[in-house]
Amino acid sequence: MPLSRSTRKRRMLTVFMLMISCSLFSLKTYRYLTTGPNNRSTAMVPDKTVQCEYHQTEALMNNASHLELPPVPKYSLRNDRVEPLSLEVTRFFTRLTRSVCRDFLVLIISPIHNSEGDLENYVKLIYSLDYPRHQLSLAFGEDNSHDGTLVKARSVVEKLKTMGLRRAEVFHFNFSDDWDSDSWMKEHAYSNQLKRRSHLARARNLLLKSALKDEEYVLWIDSDIKSIPPDLIQQMVYVRGDVVTASCLVADNGGGGRIYDKNSWRETELSRKRQESLPLDELVVEGYFPSVRQYLPHLRGEGRRCVPVDGVGGCALMIKAECHRKGLIFPETLFERHIETEGLAKMAKHMGYSVYGLPFVNVFHS
């Protein structure tokens, strides 16, 4: 006996409701199994911190007690010498497994000015990085060069694209009205530092604003760096700090080096006291007078992989992109008597971010 039209409709509606109920049950079960009872959906999202978290422990310091380390000076004063370390010591404080800290999107940024002769070696440095290239982006910020830097940079970018980078691009700026000097003496004269560093900060901020997309870390590298460790990115990410800088040296014939970037330092009680007596509009900058601070490479004697610092340089500097997005910039005017990279470190601490240095991770400047 054929079913009435109303009966068929009721049966079809029952089947439809049963299908919806099964779908909802399956979805709830999947969410529970993948995220737990709180239903905070993290399904299919890899936990990048599992293999990439570093905690300083007393165990590390105790295990390092047998290693011969140079003592930490009370003040760095005029001492820019860095004694060579044994391979055993260096490996102890920099060892990582090959696979660690390789899952983050990293933007490499390099300001360039009259850098035509440095860019071929720069390509070799990027090529030497032991980091997945499809996770790397790169941006140059060319600023009023008088040589063929801009043309060369555009050529280099095309070469970098063939290496498999996510993206690579050049931004051209012209701040000649702010600062323009091809004289080394004029550029590094103390009387010109406020104007010069303000110019550099402005260029960095504009480059950052133009280049940063969806990356999780920003790695600032000088274009005239001579050599970097292949695992530089992993070493810096592993610390899990908001702002992390490496030691920047110039190699010498003695097997050690001299400190090139004196903007990475830790304050001392005396350095803080001296600053308190200075006018708020006076620039404090290293390298011109005997330092009563402690330079980053001199902190190796503490026997720690990473050490807290109060100032950073831009030689090799990694910053969590989220910090930049929340307002951390390179101050173009004085911030707590500091500017540009050191000003950024002061601002980072003011905002509650961590600032660390890696005394055993060395990059060498030309």
- Confidence band for 42, pLDDT divided at 50, 70 and 90: very low
Question: Which pLDDT belongs to residue 252?
Answer: 84
Average pLDDT over every residue of 59-79: 78
Q: What is the C-alpha separation between 193 and 113, in angstroms, rounded?
A: 17
| pLDDT, greater one: 23 or 302 | 302
Average pLDDT across the chain, whole number: 84
Average pLDDT over every residue of 43-50: 46
Question: Which pLDDT belongs to residue 270?
Answer: 96
Q: Domains in the chain, ordered, with CATH?
A: 1-45 (no CATH), 58-365 (3.90.550.10)
Q: How far is CA 44 from the centre of its chain?
A: 27
pTM of the model: 0.83
Q: What is the C-alpha separation between 109 and 107, in angstroms, rounded?
A: 6
Question: Which pLDDT belongs to residue 29?
Answer: 37
Per-residue pLDDT at 34 exceeds 50: no
pLDDT in tens, 255-273: 779 999 999 999 999 999 9
Average pLDDT over every residue of 296-323: 96
- Confidence band for 318, pLDDT divided at 50, 70 and 90: very high
**Cross-strand bridge partners of residue 221:** 316
- Contact between 95 and 205 (Cβ < 8 Å): no
- Confidence band for 175, pLDDT divided at 50, 70 and 90: confident
Phi-psi group of 342: left, alpha or beta (phi > 0 → left; psi -120 to 50 → alpha; rest → beta): alpha
Per-residue pLDDT at 366 exceeds 70: yes
Report the range out of 20-34, 157-171, 190-204 with the highest average pLDDT.
Answer: 157-171
Average pLDDT over every residue of 8-36: 44
Average pLDDT over every residue of 329-350: 97
Tell me the one-letter amino acid at 229: P
Burial class of 110 by CB neighbour count within 10 A (0 to 12, 13 to 18, 19+): buried
CA dihedral (350, 54, 225, 301) positive or negative: positive
How many CB atoms are located within 10 Å of the residue 250 CB?
A: 15
- Confidence band for 36, pLDDT divided at 50, 70 and 90: very low
Reported in sequence order, the residue ranges of the chain that DSSP labels E, i.e. its strands, are 81-82, 106-112, 136-143, 167-173, 217-221, 225-227, 243-251, 257-259, 265-266, 294-295, 307-308, 316-320, 355-365
Mean pLDDT lowest among 9-23, 48-62, 196-210, 212-226: 9-23
Burial class of 273 by CB neighbour count within 10 A (0 to 12, 13 to 18, 19+): exposed
Question: Which pLDDT belongs to residue 23?
Answer: 45
CA-based angle 161:166:170, to the nearest 5?
60
Q: What is the C-alpha separation between 121 and 138, in angstroms, rounded?
A: 15
Per-residue pLDDT at 314 exceeds 50: yes
